[in-house]
Chains A and B, each alone.
Chain A
Amino acid sequence: DAKTTQPTSMDCAEGRAANLPCNHSTISGNEYVYWYRQIHSQGPQYIIHGLKNNETNEMASLIITEDRKSSTLILPHATLRDTAVYYCIVRLYSGGGADGLTFGKGTHLIIQP
């Protein structure tokens, strides 16, 4: 799986949009970009994933650049409960089951009141 690079930490004001960047310059054509987050003392939680088109769900939006070498996770209206470590993961989705994920250290997002 391709490696990813994320900032170690970020701050965002409550109510504002939080934009979390991720670089994955070695991504291959059939690898997906996944985002998970881990709130303190809990297991990781799936947020969103995409291949090359922008994606949106009830939690967030995922913007993938045209060359697919980077992406941005957007939390449109951050709340204090969004304070967590956010992991950007690139993986080959084989369609059956879920192969082992390679987590980096992620970005510690702190939402300020």
Chain B
Amino acid sequence: DAGVTQSPTHLIKTRGQQVTLRCSPKSGHDTVSWYQQALGQGPQFIFQYYEEEERQRGNFPDRFSGHQFPNYSSELNVNALLLGDSALYLCASSSFTSFGSNTGELFFGEGSRLTVL
């Protein structure tokens, strides 16, 4: 049973460019959340997608946008990259619908490390 998979694992961009990161949730999960983790800091919540809609959003500018596809996979897009966007981007999945077995546990991927030069 594959866990959460993210791609690419590493990438380098320059300021002003745009980037797209991809995430496939754990089998059976239908909810995807994205987090940004700067060096030495804890992960910061960006947003969460369920039923192809943004359900909750953290304190991130509109340059950060996302999408969820019918197969529950998700993309994170960041436009007009800044040096400060350099971070590890984590995707986490969970199951919204299986209430009986849902502990509220999030399953995280290994992350995509973005470097902005």
Contact = CB atoms under 8 A, between A and B. Distances in A.
Interface in B49-74: 50, 55-56, 58
A93 B99 CA distance: 11
A43 B103 contact: no
A44 interface: yes
Interface stretch (A17-25, A61-69, A73-81, A99-107): A99-107
Interface in B87-104: 90, 92, 94-97, 99, 102-104
A33 B41 CA distance: 20
A43 B90 contact: yes
Contact of A98 (B40, B43, B97, B105): B105
Contact of B104 (A45, A49, A85, A102): A49
A96 interface: yes
Interface residues of A, number: 26
A46 B42 contact: no
A49 B43 contact: no
Given A103-B43, A104-B42, A105-B42, A96 B58 contact: no
Interface of A: 32, 34, 36, 41-46, 49, 85, 87, 91, 93, 95-106
13 contacts: A43-B92, A43-B109, A44-B43, A44-B92, A46-B103, A46-B105, A87-B42, A96-B102, A98-B48, A98-B92, A98-B102, A104-B42, A106-B42
